[in-house]
Structures are given as C-alpha cells and as structure tokens.
C-alpha cells in the first residue's frame, strides 16, 4: 500500500484515481484491510480481477506473458472503458503509470502469477491429470483459453450470482457456453465443497489439479481453513494431483502442495 504521505507523488496519483474510481467503478478496486466486509459482499462483481489480464492481452505479442482473448469481453461498464483507454497510446501510458505508481508491482505480480498458474495447470494435464477445479472461478477463463483443458473435465466453483453473470457474458461474446465446463454453484461460507463437486460429476478418486486464485480476501478465516481441510483440496496431492494456491502468507496452502 502506498504510504499516506501527501508529499509522495505516488500517493497523489492514487488519490486522484481513487476519487474517480469510487464514483465510476462499482465494487471497489482497492484492497485495504478495512474494506474486507465490503469486498465480501461485492464478490459477485468480479470484473476487477479481469482488468489486468485484459491489459496484458493488449500488450504487443512479443511482450505478453499470456494471451486471454476472453478477458476484455468479460469486462463491463467502467472496467471495460478503463481497458479501452489503455489502448490509446498517450492515455495508455497514463493508465499504466497510475496503476504502477499507485499500486507498485501489482500489475507485474498479477501477470507473473497468472502465467505461473497457467504453466502449472498445463504441466499437470500433461502428466495425466484429467480434472481441473477452479475454486472461486470468478471470470477466470482458463477453462476456455487453455487448449490443454479442452479435453478434460473443468469444474468452475463459485457463487451462483457470479456464475450467472459470467455465463451471460460468455454467451454474449461467443454465442455459446463451453461444453467441457461444469458450473458448480456454491457458497463456500455455508456449503460442503466436495458434496457439491460430486453432485456435478467430479470423481474424488481421479487425479485433479485445483486452482484457488484471488479468493481468500472474500472469505472468512473459518471458510478458508475448512476448504483447505476438505478432502477435495487436502487429498488432491496424495492422488498425484496438484493444488495451486497463490496467496502470500497462507501457511496452510503450502502444506497442501501450493505453488509459490
């Protein structure tokens, strides 16, 4: 977080952008601890998490860490406008300057994180894993954009409201929904993860790769720990599968085979 120092030019840039964003971007683009309850309530609005992939996909091909052809189309409202502004040469430099100075390293770390998880998922599928579980999938398009995932079962686990929004946007931009993706509607604060997965066709005795990216900010501590302790997550590595969970400081994830 940028220090609240009025003499710091980074703070001034961030302050200017925050004033604009609070007025025009729904769901809060920021991650201060005091806004935790608000972020949990706004989880169905996941567009903010697709903003950085959309910006990365607009980079020159030689500079991209990954390509997400669905990211921009899954954005809406002010997020889409912000990504569109980044395409304009002069305005684009200002957009990136605001992001990089206001939130140092956020854009680069998010890009590297996405690429790292993509590589882990590809390696897992290449080694024989035939199920991919995206916990708190949000607007994550891995089930669509990774060619390696086309021939396996993909289970997108998320809040029903988020899934409805995502399916509507996917259908609007592609005219159809992926046939290999099963949408598992669940509230991780209340529902039993494995039971919902099995109901949707998940096979607990078959190798799987589980991805849990950018979700724990929206959950209570008890929900995070119960999900990690559940059989679907805790035993996945015991069957030769993988568990990818990039969340700095979450010691329990490392014990279950987390990547980075």
Chain segment 121-152, per-residue pLDDT in tens: 999 999 999 999 998 898 999 999 999 999 99
**If you average pLDDT over residues 55-79, what whole number do you get?**
89
Query: What is the average pLDDT value for the chain, to the nearest integer?
Result: 75
Instruction: State the pLDDT at residue 31.
Output: 40
**If you average pLDDT over residues 168-197, what whole number do you get?**
89
**If you average pLDDT over residues 101-105, what whole number do you get?**
73
* Residue 55 backbone zone (phi > 0: left; psi -120 to 50: alpha; other: beta): alpha
**If you average pLDDT over residues 240-254, what whole number do you get?**
45
Residue 221 — very low, low, confident or very high, per pLDDT cuts 50/70/90?
confident
Q: If you compute the radius of gyration of the chain from its CA atoms, what whole number of angstroms results? A: 18
**28 DSSP assignment:** -
The residue ranges of every structural domain in the chain are 9-107, 117-255
Q: Token pair of 41, please?
A: 């309530």
Least confident of 41-50, 181-190, 223-232: 41-50
117-255 homologous superfamily: Vaccinia Virus protein VP39 (3.40.50.150)
Between CA 224 and CA 82, with CA 117 as vertex, the angle to 5 degrees is 90
The answer on pLDDT for 237 being more than 70 is: no
Instruction: State the pLDDT at residue 20.
Output: 53
CA separation for the pair 22, 19 (Å, rounded): 5
Q: Within 10 Å of residue 36's Cβ, how many Cβ atoms?
A: 14
Instruction: State the pLDDT at residue 146.
Output: 95
**133 DSSP assignment:** E
The answer on pLDDT for 37 being more than 70 is: no
């Amino acid at each position: 977080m940028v220090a609240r120092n009025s003499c710091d030019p980074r703070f001034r840039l961030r302050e200017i952008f925050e004033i604009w964003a609070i007025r025009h971007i729904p769901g809060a683009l920021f991650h201060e601890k005091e806004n935790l309850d608000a972020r949990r309530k706004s989880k169905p609005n996941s567009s903010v998490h697709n903003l950085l992939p959309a910006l990365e996909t607009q980079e020159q091909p030689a500079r991209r860490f990954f390509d997400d052809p669905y990211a921009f189309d899954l954005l809406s409202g002010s997020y889409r406008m912000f990504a569109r502004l980044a395409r304009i040469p002069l305005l684009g430099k200002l957009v990136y300057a605001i992001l990089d100075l206001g939130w140092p390293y956020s854009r680069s770390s998010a890009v590297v994180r996405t690429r790292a998880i993509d590589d882990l998922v590809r390696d897992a599928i290449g080694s024989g894993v035939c199920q991919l579980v995206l916990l708190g999938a949000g607007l994550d398009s891995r089930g669509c954009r990774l060619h390696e995932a086309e021939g396996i079962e993909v289970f997108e686990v998320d809040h029903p409201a988020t899934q409805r929004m995502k399916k509507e946007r996917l259908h609007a931009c592609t005219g159809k929904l992926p046939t290999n993706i099963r949408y598992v509607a669940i509230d991780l604060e209340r529902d039993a993860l494995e039971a919902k997965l099995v109901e949707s066709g998940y096979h607990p005795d078959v190798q799987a790769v589980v991805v849990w990216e950018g979700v724990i900010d929206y959950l209570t501590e008890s929900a995070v720990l119960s999900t990690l302790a559940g059989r679907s997550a805790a035993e996945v590595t015991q069957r030769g599968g993988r568990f990818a969970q990039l969340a700095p400081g979450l010691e329990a994830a490392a014990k279950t085979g987390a990547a980075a």
